A and B are shown apart, each in its own frame.
Chain A
Amino acid sequence: MNSGLFLGLSPLLVVSLGGLLLMVAEAFSKRRVDETSDDRDAGPSSELSLGTAVTLLAGAVFAAAIWFVGPEKLEGASSVAPWVIVDRFTLFFSFVLCLGGALAALLAGGYLPEHRLDRGEFYPLIIFSTVGAMILASAGDLLSLFLGLETMSLGVYAMVGFRRASLRSTEAAVKYFLLGSFAAALLLYGGALLYGATGHTDLAGIREAIANMQPGKGSNFALVITAAVLIIVGLAFKVSAVPFHMWTPDAYEGAPTPTTTYMAVAVKCAAFATMLRVLIGAFGEGGLESWAAGWPPVVALLAVLTMTVANLVAGQQESVKRMLAYSSIAHAGYVLVGVVATMRAGGDAQGSVMFYLLTYTVSTVGAFGALILMGSRGAEAVSYEDLAGVGKRHPAAGFAFSLFLLSLAGVPPTAGFFGKLYIVKASIGAGLYPLAIILLLNSVISAYYYLRVMVYMYMREPAPGAPIAKPMRSGYVATALVVAGVLVLVLGLWPTTSLQIAVEAALATR
């Protein structure tokens, strides 16, 4: 019980406390709008959106501050380990998760009033879900890992079904809930078997027990393998890797777009964080990390399937939102390539994975944000036709969307290019040439559907008689886009500093 402990946990505490305060403030606030109101500024969003963004950014600032102080210098912060581990890995992910959550909250501040969904519950949900995501990223024990996973997921389930009057939104929520709880059950089952086999629930203890195991001779090695498979499947559900991605397009499409943004960035990043912790922290020894008898070939297979299937299907979508959902699946595939590379290339590969997640976060928030910006009340932009000619009529909005799409496609001056470059470099460094080649081929395929959006925006005119898209006006959405845009360019022009930070963060887990 000392100041080091509180400072070490301050990102979590600040965000939780802010969430509690905002929740009460929302309940006591007189700001209410009914569904028929035309006043976009009368609802709770006009205050809560900013409050949520500030709370989450405060969490990010605290994480950055502890980074500069040095988490290893904080006496007492280790007293909560292994349930919550305060190291540079945790701080890096806390920062990324808070950033993603804050930008999604700003997008909600514009989107919810615009589409008559202005109810204040959204903002506490996004904060508490981020708290869960941060616990997930810092968990060094299967119990706190599961707690974080459920805290994160519960908030998101509610956020997916936020458009209560819409059947699609409800369907998306039920689908996500059922498959999400199924995945959680698999993970829990894997954790139980692992505990049975090793007698430990903390990842370091599991690693040690596995390292001391002799395969074959009546040991629990078969149980460990079964547990590893169950845990990998459970996590693959959460990062939406093919063939466990079935829920993703429907859930992403049915959910309100700010929720989709949040799921695509924060939930996915937290799931990858815990995947790195479990695969390296628990399954990093005793032959499990080898190509011959471990998880790398399994994850590699998932990566190849995920990239290829997602990119092929994404090209056939007629809805831009659904296309972006498949694009986020494809990006999970690229990250999985990097995860495989960590087995041989070590900290550098893991750093490239984490840098990729950062670039992916800012690009995806931007792309969904631009899609939000293109729609207005009663006319949400979803299909390619909706975007016809927007680039000429509204150059700023068109430019923003193009920038983020180019980043997702991996075109040089943007962050996405260096994200992909480092993943490819890591996989070549690990000798995984086929994976690197498949990644590059997929990257080429993905350019087709990203550029298709730009073709519609700049080279097509709306069909005669078709409704003409009018971008919405919202300072919040514009702010989120500017922040994401600046980050995309900064990470693209000066990638080395952030990469070094990511590698340093990665080394904390090894």
Chain B
Amino acid sequence: MSTYVPLFLLFIVAAVLAGALFTISTVLGPKNPTPEKMIPYECGSETTGGRFVKPSVKFYLTAILFVVFDIEAVLIYPWTVEFKNLGWIGLATMGSFILMLVVALLYVWKKGALEWEK
């Protein structure tokens, strides 16, 4: 249990620090509210449109494709470090993995998931 004491200390320090900063700035900071300052997005220009905007599903597609190839990179890094020890089996494994991703890339390409304007 004693090994977790520093961790608890870290939590306590983080909580105290965050609380103290907010409290101090609330208490000491000058308050001069104007209507413009009170609107949710205050940057000088008028807000337009509704609060809920439907993002295009294309963002989702792009994000998921990014995740797929991001994971590929994550898996390739440790492989390169152990490249010599893993030998030919490692090369074959990584080759088949990348081949599968190539198939996936072919698929999304033919399906038109990479085209934004469509």
Q: How many residue-residue contacts, CB under 8 A, span A and B?
A: 14
A20 to B107, CA, bound (A): 10
A297 to B89, CA, bound (A): 48
In the complex, are the beta carbons of A20 and B110 less than 8 A apart?
A: no
In the complex, are the beta carbons of B110 and A28 less than 8 A apart?
A: yes
Q: In chain A, what residue has the closest Cβ to B106?
A: A24
Tell me how far the C-beta of A479 lies from the nearest C-beta in chain B, rounded to whole angstroms.
29
Q: Give the secondary structure class of B's interface.
A: helix
Q: In chain A, what residue has the closest Cβ to B93?
A: A1
A377 to B115, CA, bound (A): 34
Q: Give the secondary structure class of A's interface.
A: helix
| CB neighbours of B107 from chain A (8 A) | 23-24, 27
Query: What mask results when residues 234 to 260 of chain A are scored 1 for a CB within 8 Å of chain B, else 0?
Result: 000000000000000000000000000
Query: What mask results when residues 76 to 91 of chain B are scored 1 for a CB within 8 Å of chain A, else 0?
Result: 0000000000000100
Tell me how far the C-beta of A63 lies from the nearest C-beta in chain B, rounded to whole angstroms.
22
Query: What mask results when residues 1 to 33 of chain A are scored 1 for a CB within 8 Å of chain B, else 0?
Result: 100000000000000000010011001100000
| CB neighbours of B89 from chain A (8 A) | 1
> Which of chain A's residues 8-63 have a Cβ closer than 8 Å to chain B?
20, 23-24, 27-28
Tell me how far the C-beta of A198 lies from the nearest C-beta in chain B, rounded to whole angstroms.
21
A20 to B103, CA, bound (A): 7
B64 at the interface (CB under 8 A from A): no
In the complex, are the beta carbons of A27 and B111 less than 8 A apart?
A: yes
B20 at the interface (CB under 8 A from A): no
B68 at the interface (CB under 8 A from A): no
In the complex, are the beta carbons of B100 and A27 less than 8 A apart?
A: no
| CB neighbours of A23 from chain B (8 A) | 103, 107
A23 to B105, CA, bound (A): 12
A20 to B99, CA, bound (A): 11
| CB neighbours of B111 from chain A (8 A) | 27
Q: A interface vs B, CB < 8 Å? A: 1, 20, 23-24, 27-28
Provide a sorted-by-A list of 10 A–B residue pairs whose CB atoms are within 8 angstroms: A1-B89, A20-B100, A20-B103, A23-B103, A24-B103, A24-B106, A24-B107, A27-B106, A27-B107, A28-B110
In addition to A27-B106, A27-B111, 8 A-B residue pairs with Cβ atoms within 8 Å of each other are A1-B89, A23-B107, A24-B103, A24-B106, A24-B107, A24-B110, A27-B107, A27-B110
